[in-house]
Amino acid sequence: MGIVSPGFHGRSRAAGVTLPPGQYLVEDFPVLSAGPTPRIAQQDWAFVIATESGQRHQWSWPELMALPSEQPTVDLHCVTKWSKLATDWQGVSLDVLFEDVETGADFALVHSYGGYTTNLPLEDLLDGKAWIAYRYDGDDLAPEHGGPARLLVPHLYLWKSAKWVRGIQLTEQDEPGFWESAGYHDYGDPWREQRYQGD
């Protein structure tokens, strides 16, 4: 008996596609979560940016929908080593949400419905690098993928793109989130293979 099952051709690597180190291509959109999937109705959803001084900027779902949106097409890279290329989203750039936010903070701790958190440098949320995404592939974002809205930060591993996002706390000191406290890398650059602390 051979060591490779009949019909198995290995993991997909499209010709001419450059992937971050250790990644392989998928056609589907795997669902990975740290706990149960929260179910938040749009009318109950709200998003808050809280500054280090305690100032709060808040948007309801209708207020988010009234803001100008963008339709980025981005590649996704999961720390579990799968990559999905050219994914289509719709959402509001964080640049729009931060227009009236005055802060001297350098870091952000992102909070989700369900208790999940993740940390990022504030600069990684600005200058066209991140969105609050509410549509995927032409449809409303499904709960298993973070609907009604998730953070989308495609230049970092996907755990930084917090599902079911509800707010951002701006901080002067970097504070680890859920996976970072469990040994995942604080930054998570897929091109530098920053999966775990020490990478």
Q: Mind listing the pLDDT tens digit for each residue in 97-137? A: 999 999 999 999 999 999 999 999 999 999 999 999 999 99
**Closest to 94 (Cα-Cα) out of 73, 122, 115, 66:** 122
pLDDT at residue number 199? 82
35: pLDDT confidence band, cut at 50, 70 and 90? Answer: confident
Third-level CATH fold of 63-192: Sulfite Oxidase; Chain A, domain 2 (3.90.420)
Give the Cα separation of 59 and 55 in Å (integer). 14
Look-up of token digits 């040994």: 183
Query: What global pTM score does this model have?
Result: 0.90
Residue type, 79: V
Domain boundaries, the chain: 63-192
- 8 Å CB contact between 67 and 92: yes
Average pLDDT (66-74) is 98
